[in-house]
Amino acid sequence: MKRRDFLKIATGSAGGAAAIGAAGARSSSRPAAFQEGEENNTTSGNGTEGNATTGADGQEGELPGAGTTETVAVGPGGNNVFDPETVYIQRGATVEWVWESPGHNVHATDVPEDAEWDVQTEITGPDFTYSYTFDGPTGEYHYVCDPHESVGMVGDVVVNESGEEPGGDGGGGAELNPEHMGVPFQAHFVGIATILMMLVSLVYTFFVLKYGESQHASAPNKE
């Protein structure tokens, strides 16, 4: 087998495989937003229409979180924790604390300026609940369980515009779906298929040149 012949055929085979793969990638590279058609044009409201409420700042207006409730378990499973430890909500949303074990309370210790949340519930147990609607300023509302603050039983209510944890696109945030970024998942399969096609082409070319020639095919012609 001649090295020059092998390189010539292998290069042609690999180039053909790459061209096929590139064509497949182009055909599947349309953003998911376009592939899904008009479904993405459908929007849903947050159910706050008509919920004009006078907040702690005395200004009347629609509160985006009105009508929504988040639940925090107090001492779940007998553990000295709030679950979840941090809650993200919009202004107007309500947080409800539900006691699941005895010997706990909720004590607001650090809140935004002008906020009116200054609760300190009694130390109690199951069958007790406490709720509060956060219609005051945005910011972090820190609270503790007085008997167990020293062992880390603390919590936070974060009131912001989105009602979600900021920085969700990295670190410990939620995993992103490639479809939502306009990168169709099929493109990954196209890339893998292209590599496999190139490898198969190289292996096939090698065996054809090494074992497919006749006994005298590579020898100089004799006069």
Q: Residue 41 and residue 43: Cα distance in Å, rounded?
A: 6
Query: Is there a domain that residue 20 lies in?
Result: no
Given a cut of 80, whether residue 88 has pLDDT beyond it is yes
Q: Which residue has the tokens 């055929």?
A: 9
Cα distances from 170 to residues 47, 92, 164, in angstroms, run 30, 28, 14
> Would you place residue 96 in the very low, low, confident or very high pLDDT band (cuts 50, 70, 90)?
very high
Average pLDDT of the chain, as a whole number: 74
Tokens of 95: 């947080």
Classify residue 127: in a domain, yes or no.
yes
Round to whole Å and give the CA distance between 83 and 67.
21
Residue 195 lies in a domain: no
pLDDT value of residue 214: 53
Residue 55 belongs to some domain of the structure:
yes
pLDDT of residue 221: 53
Q: Does residue 123 carry a pLDDT above 50?
A: yes
Q: pTM (2 decimals)?
A: 0.51
Contacts of 167 (CB under 8 A, 6+ apart): 173
Cβ–Cβ under 8 Å, residues 46 and 52: no
Q: Are 101 and 78 in contact (CB under 8 A)?
A: yes
CB 112 within 8 A of CB 142: no
List b or e across 178-195, with b for residues whose CB sees 16 or more CB atoms inside 10 angstroms.
eeeeebbebbeebeeebe
Q: How confident is the model at residue 140 (pLDDT cuts 50, 70, 90)?
A: very high
Q: What is the CATH number of the domain that holds 123?
A: 2.60.40.420
In a domain, 68, yes or no: yes
Q: Does residue 77 lie in a domain region?
A: yes
Over range 1-13, report the average pLDDT. 55
- Quickly state the pLDDT bin for 51 (edges 50, 70, 90): very low
- Over residues 61-82, the pLDDT tens digits come to 689 999 999 999 999 999 999 9
When divided into structural domains, the chain yields a total of 1
Cβ–Cβ < 8 Å for 191, 19 = no
pLDDT attached to residue 53: 35
Residue 131 within any structural domain of the chain: yes
Domain extent at residue 132: 48-166
Residue 143 has pLDDT above 90, yes or no: yes
